[in-house]
Structure 1
Amino acid sequence: MKRPAEAIPLLRAPLRGGIEGPGLYLTRTETHEMLARAFDAAGQTDSAAVHYAIVERAWRDADPPLVPRRDAARRWLVAAGRSVK
């Protein structure tokens, strides 16, 4: 992500809209995952942690294809000193 600060408002928009539209191309959890990455790349670790925690919680019992992404969120949280419940 080359311009994470510019991506953040664009990624937040689907989370504010109605439930009928934003999930057509990207799930809410995937949106949180992308926001976490953008906040991390922008150096906003507190905000990144909030979104990584949502990802970890949503995918806690994930199907096998999502496990690596859930585990990446967990690793980030642990490396940042955040507890994973």
Structure 2
Amino acid sequence: RSSWGGDGLQGHVGKSSCFVATYPPNPIATRVVTALGGPTQYIFGNLTVCGTRWSAGDKQPSLRGLSKAQQDLLMDVHAVVCEETVGASPQG
């Protein structure tokens, strides 16, 4: 989450990702979001993460690409989550 006018991360899932029959459970995405301080809710299907930035006077953050530091953070968290999840391995 971005705050104080700084950078943050925002995750997006498809609107239909809450339908269990439509998409398979994604335990890796669920654990990555939790590890990054996001809401503790189970994610089905794919997760897209982008950067955010608050500007003065904005009511919502603007979306942007990930900085190098954000990319490194996501890769590190993803790798740890995969190591802790039985039978999973990190993939690009």
Same fold by TM (over 0.5)? no
Structure with the higher fraction of residues in strand conformation: 2
- TM-score, normalised to structure 2's length? 0.35
| Structure label with greater radius of gyration | 2
- TM-score, normalised to structure 1's length? 0.37
